[in-house]
Amino acid sequence: MIVELVRELYTSLRQFVGQGALLTLFAVSVAVIVIAKSSKDKGVVAAILSITGTIGIAASAAYERIVSLKAKRSVKVIVAVFTAALMLLVITSSGGNVFSEEISERAADDMHLPAGLREAMDATLQDCDRPTVLTMPGWGVYLKAYSSKFEPVYDESVYGMSDLGEDAWIVYTELGKVHPDMKKVALHARAMDCRYVILSDGIWPEFPITSFGYEKIFEGSRCSVYREVSTP
């Protein structure tokens, strides 16, 4: 019960504080350093050029203050432990753990590409030197990072995707669904001269894209590659 309460309190605190509290922490740390610095040592103020460094220096300033207190050792220890626990809580609440499941995931390979995408890209490049590719939302940047030969329909290097044309926006939205309309996808892919389509196995269309003028040329562990059927 107590563990559950503590966990819930911590979660609520995290939700209340929100991520992005680092700058607030920085502002408080600047105040600590400015108040605690020696009146002769103006140089230390230059340390505030470093956001994270400033917070670390403020933590050490707190330690040095505790050490300089003229009190019983037991009191100093209690104050130090309390301050350390508070600092730990503040730090873990200021942002998200970059190695936690909610923020990152285990890399599938050395290149940190989605599982199965690398072999799908290799299969595509074997078939064509400079393939125009329609792929899952968010995968365009992987294609460009893997090979400059790819010409993805949408490249997420433009954050917000405001430069997308109508056809690209339609397929981008459609492929973001669990049950995309592949007829619409195939129609707009052909309008954009997309000869290749790389799809993840995470979508379940009612009818596969092979029903609408594309043939499967590669099936990997998590991805498949489709090529437009050329009419002789």
Partner 1 sequence: MTGIVVFALFYILAYLVGIWADILMMKHGGASVIFRIAFGGCAVILTGMTVSFVCSLFGCSVAACLVVFGAFLVAEIITAAVIAVRKGIRIIARPGAAPQKADILWLIPVATVILSVIEVSRFAMPSVAAYVGIGEATAVFDTSRLDAGDPMMLFIGVISATAGVHPLELIFTITPSVYIVLYYVCYLALITEVTKSRLASLIAFMTVLLLCIWGYQSEYAIRYTLLVRWYGTGVFVVHGFLNVIAVLLIRYLRYMPEGEKVVEDVWDDDTEEWDMKGHKIINTRNLAIAFVVLLLAFIASVFVLNSKINRLYDATVNLQEDLNKRSSVYEKRSDEGSIEGFVVRATDGSEYTISIDEMTESK
Residue 108 is a binding residue for partner 1 (CB under 8 A): yes
Q: Which is nearer to partner 1, 45 or 81 (CB)?
A: 45
3-state secondary structure of 207: coil
3-state secondary structure of 12: helix
Question: Which residues inside 148-187 make contact with partner 1, applying CB under 8 A?
Answer: 148-149, 155-157, 159
Q: Are 133 and 151 in contact (CB under 8 A)?
A: yes
Distance between CA 116 and CA 184 in Å, rounded?
A: 25
What is the smallest separation between the CB atom of 140 and partner 1, expressed in angstroms? 8
Q: Are 200 and 136 in contact (CB under 8 A)?
A: yes
Question: Which residues inside 20-59 make contact with partner 1, applying CB under 8 A?
Answer: 20, 22, 36-53, 55-57, 59
3-state secondary structure of 23: helix
Q: Find the binder of partner 1 among 32, 119, 133, 142 (CB under 8 A).
A: 142
Residue 231 is a binding residue for partner 1 (CB under 8 A): no
Report which DSSP code applies to 152: E
133 strand-pairing partners: 152, 196
Report which DSSP code applies to 114: P
Q: Which is nearer to partner 1, 65 or 215 (CB)?
A: 65
Distance between CA 41 and CA 229 in Å, rounded?
A: 75
What is the smallest separation between the CB atom of 62 and partner 1, expressed in angstroms? 8
Question: Which residues inside 190-219 make contact with partner 1, applying CB under 8 A?
Answer: none
What is the smallest separation between the CB atom of 191 and partner 1, expressed in angstroms? 24
Q: Which is nearer to partner 1, 179 or 215 (CB)?
A: 179
Q: Which is nearer to partner 1, 64 or 193 (CB)?
A: 64
Which H or E element spans position 219? strand 214-219
Tokens at residue 9, please? Answer: 């309190």
What is the smallest separation between the CB atom of 182 and partner 1, expressed in angstroms? 24
What is the smallest separation between the CB atom of 23 and partner 1, expressed in angstroms? 8
